[in-house]
Chains A and B, each alone.
Chain A
């Protein structure tokens, strides 16, 4: 679509110096490091026994997560939903990003509009919208039935519903960095691939896909943690059958008033996401290391 629009968030041109970094460092300190430290502290400084808060240094909150099947299942489900959502977003993103990057202008604009329109609608309202679609007698089942296919039954209140809802919500965060990466691919490189014998499909596999990996990495680094930390969408679309760690934390903190345990769960979530993202980015980096950091 608009080359300049995408390129502008590619690099912050040559700004450097401690003075320039100070506000950002301060901001991170106050709004990220301090709360994280507080959360960590909370999780090890007390435990709830028989409904009574017992302040003391303890690792029992963590032990409780790993010794109880129920909590582990939340962790695994959360990772599974986040992974599925990320993969679904990757697959859906390519056609959309290709339209944004190389499609005709009007088409690209309409795609962009459809893509970002959901962001303008309140999260709760949107989730309720999906309940109408995914209901047993909802739009989706009606459509499936009307073309004569076997109806899969209830989609709402399942992991699938959560994945669909989260993918819808976070799709732009995958598509936009991907489109930015695709638009940066020199058109003559793709033309060259065609002339040297690559069909459109192979141009995609051998040129567009590898050269857009940095965009895919950026998108995944956004979608995965956001899905894993999602709270409203799984509550409304997953119900009791597919609620995620976020919902468990809410339940522990708000309903059970067990702040230390909630803090332990939250700390674990943050730690897992950090780890996953690190592994993830390392993998991408290894794939692209030979050509991405050309300038350095």
Chain B
């Protein structure tokens, strides 16, 4: 939860919603709140129910159970066209028979706003997305990025109570996408728009959001600030979906000095802290982020907790980062990343086949929930 936000009321609150199609759950027990002026990202793989949640908020679908509240008033009884939300669909859904200006004016016309006020609002909205001068173009005469901005202007023009964005940047090239993301965030912050953004792109979620809700199979797996989600994933799914993680399964033990240690075969992991839900003696999974690992050529190999010997198999160069694919002596894979600026001397000297001593600090060990591990017996 973001600090200091507690004073702000929830503009949007989604409470325990369930929705099934033909007996198949698409959304189950989803709850979250978005405070005034904040942006919440719904992040998850394809088919996990993100769009369904968005359509329920907009009123295009009604939930089987649960409640949707705008400013603490239930809107379940309010039909779609009276909810006052602005939406940007994944495919933009511009009205093909209307010009840019007419598209942007649509919501205002439906609100029976006067001609002069509509015109000034349209001008204002097009200026916000920097599309002045294209008023008379038809949608098919615009580039993808321009269409996307028209769709955004259309949503902004009505000064929506809630702004809903369904994968707004999915169709754009990377450069344009990043530029639009920064623009959108700046707009959203300056206009104080309460926003829900749907995306399957973790970078987008982490870049844009005040809060990220990671969805999986129709439920919310974890909700928190971007740094929470990245640095403190609570489940294997989140650790795997957001960023890259190494996973080690082992038995949680109480060490000699009373400190917890995870015994994972050839290696010992000593975590900084153990969440209360995990008991000593149980099998747990530990996630390790690649950038927390340090490589050293050590002769002879040292031993101890939070370090292990591994052989370098290959290096994948990714510009700012290089990923070292390593293999432990017992065959388990391990990925470590090196930053170009910091570790540059290293990267040029790396040779497949080299043996490294890989080490990490205690805080890097994240004990997480892991359904795939339950029932697995370790020797």
Contacts and interface: CB of A to CB of B under 8 A. Distances in A.
Interface of A: 186, 188-189, 191-199, 202, 206-207, 210-211, 288, 290-291, 294
B273 interface: no
Nearest to A294: B140
Nearest to A187: B93
Q: By DSSP majority rule, is chain B's interface helix, strand, loop, or mixed?
A: loop
Given A196-B107, A197-B107, 13 more contacts: A186-B91, A189-B93, A189-B94, A189-B95, A189-B96, A191-B60, A192-B93, A192-B95, A193-B106, A195-B86, A196-B106, A197-B110, A199-B79
Interface residues of B, number: 31
Contacts of B79: 199
A191 B138 CA distance: 20
A207 B60 CA distance: 17
B81 interface: yes
Contact of A290 (B55, B80, B91, B97): B97
A192 B96 contact: no
B144 to A, nearest CB: 15
A276 B139 CA distance: 32
Contacts of B91: 186, 188
A202 to B, nearest CB: 7
10 contacts: A188-B93, A189-B94, A191-B55, A192-B87, A193-B95, A194-B81, A196-B106, A198-B110, A288-B97, A291-B138
Interface in B56-70: 58-60
Nearest to B139: A291
Nearest to B60: A191
Given A193-B95, A196-B110, A197-B158, A291 B85 contact: no
Contacts of A193: 95, 106
B81 A210 contact: no
B53 to A, nearest CB: 15
Contacts of A194: 59-60, 80-81
Contacts, number: 72
B89 interface: yes
Contacts of A189: 93-96
A202 B87 CA distance: 18
Q: What 5 pairs between A and B have smallest CB-CB spacing?
A: A197-B110, A196-B107, A188-B93, A294-B140, A192-B93
Contacts of B314: none
Contacts of B80: 194-195
Contact of A294 (B55, B84, B96): B96
Nearest to B55: A191
B97 A195 contact: no
A196 B158 contact: yes
Contacts of A210: 97
A291 B60 contact: no
Interface string B72-106: 00000001111111110111011111010000001
Contacts of A288: 97
B154 interface: yes
Interface string B102-130: 00001100110000000000000000000
Contacts of B140: 291, 294
A199 B89 contact: no
B196 to A, nearest CB: 13
Nearest to B112: A197
Contact of A191 (B93, B97, B158): B93
A206 B140 CA distance: 18
A211 B85 contact: no
Contact of B85 (A186, A188, A195, A202): A195
Nearest to B111: A197
